[in-house]
Structure 1
Amino acid sequence: MTSPDPDSLLAEQLLRLTRRVHRVQKRHLAQRELGVTPAQSRLLRTLAHYSSPPRMADLAERLEVVPRAVTTLVDGLEARGTVRRVPDPTNRRVTRIELTDDGRKTLGEVRAARRSAAEEILAPLTAGQREALGGLLDTLIDGAAVEHC
């Protein structure tokens, strides 16, 4: 019988951690009764990074999803009153997406939920271990960026 490949074991651990992070974040969002899914919270956080309202295509590219997925997320958030579609001032065929005042408030709650989820997940680690993990994750993330070039 052959022993498991160490890289495969690491990949499995990363996948399990990703699923755990998702579950914990989802629970923390639900505890705050925001009515926002993890995917919607990601869109809200992404919107906050733009200095002016982005196009849906910009959001899809930044989120690395198909445009239809962004439309579905925006529809749900718009129904909740956290985002709104606004016309592009220079091209009437283009629609942009902006946070509403309720959206900014919800974003603050989402960020608080993510912080509390991170605290729960990282609780077993010392400060030094957290720093080391951060460095390792940066290396893996940067490697993925180089891969896409």
Structure 2
Amino acid sequence: MTTPDSDSLLAEQLLRLTRRVHRIQKHHLERSGLGVTPAQARLLRTLAHCDSPPRMADLAERLEVVPRAVTTLVDGLEGSGKVRRVPDPTNRRVIRIELTEDGRKALRQLRGARMSAAEEILDPLTDLERQVLSGLLDALVDGTPERTPKHGQGQRQGQEQGRGQGQGHNC
């Protein structure tokens, strides 16, 4: 049974962990020497999961930011040769954003930096603790409880098919 105090403590721990994750990822990004900000890295990762080059509005929606923020990010990435603006083949007034070869190369390096950051963050945990944390984070991210109360404890139900897998996105 949780209390308001324990929920408040959990919320504070989650916020502190989020700040630590951002700090460590930023440090690893800086060490990579790519000259990519965390927000630009997120945009590159989003592009990599799109089935076809998205419109700026699609990126803004996926990133949950205002379109102007995407324009600024794309300007920076385009200036460094990691993305390019291309006209839509069916409507030349529509501009789409696609990864360049330099962008794909940067993504591979970014994955390495992210893996290093993840290893640093998760280092104190055992394999079992990592599995438990993964299940708990899935439940929190999805916002749907996967447990049914049984004798004061939660019992894990089967995971939904396809959950947690990096499925392609239309963008």
TM-score, length basis structure 1: 0.92
Aligned to 1:78: 78
Shift of 1:112: 0.6
Aligned partner of 1:68: which letter?
Answer: R
Quote the Cα distance in structure 1 between the aligned partners of 2:80 and 2:9. Answer: 42
Aligned to 2:127: 127
User: Superposed, which structure 2 residues align to 1:1-149 within 5 Å?
Assistant: 5-143=5-143
Aligned partner of 1:78: which letter?
Answer: E
| Deviation string, structure 1 residues 105-148 (Cα, Å, up to 9, x no partner) | 0000001100000000000000000110010000001107xxxx
Quote the Cα distance in structure 2 between the aligned partners of 1:127 and 1:65. Answer: 35
Aligned partner of 2:45: which letter?
Answer: R
Aligned-residue sequence identity (percent) comes to 77
Quote the Cα distance in structure 2 between the aligned partners of 1:4 and 1:88. Answer: 52
- Structure 1 segments, 4+ long, off by >2 Å, are none
| Deviation string, structure 1 residues 78-105 (Cα, Å, up to 9, x no partner) | 0110000000111111110000000000
Aligned partner of 1:64: which letter?
Answer: E
Shift of 1:8: 1.0
Instruction: Name the SS for the 1:5 alignment partner.
Output: helix
The gaps in structure 2 that reach 5 residues or longer are 145-171
Determine which structure has the larger helix proportion and give its number: 1
Aligned to 1:147: none
Quote the Cα distance in structure 2 between the aligned partners of 1:105 and 1:12. Answer: 37
Quote the Cα distance in structure 2 between the aligned partners of 1:14 and 1:72. Answer: 29
Quote the Cα distance in structure 1 between the aligned partners of 2:101 and 2:75. Answer: 17
Quote the Cα distance in structure 2 between the aligned partners of 1:57 and 1:22. Answer: 25
Shift of 1:12: 0.7
Quote the Cα distance in structure 1 between the aligned partners of 2:53 and 2:105. Answer: 17
Larger radius of gyration: 2
Quote the Cα distance in structure 2 between the aligned partners of 1:34 and 1:137. Answer: 30
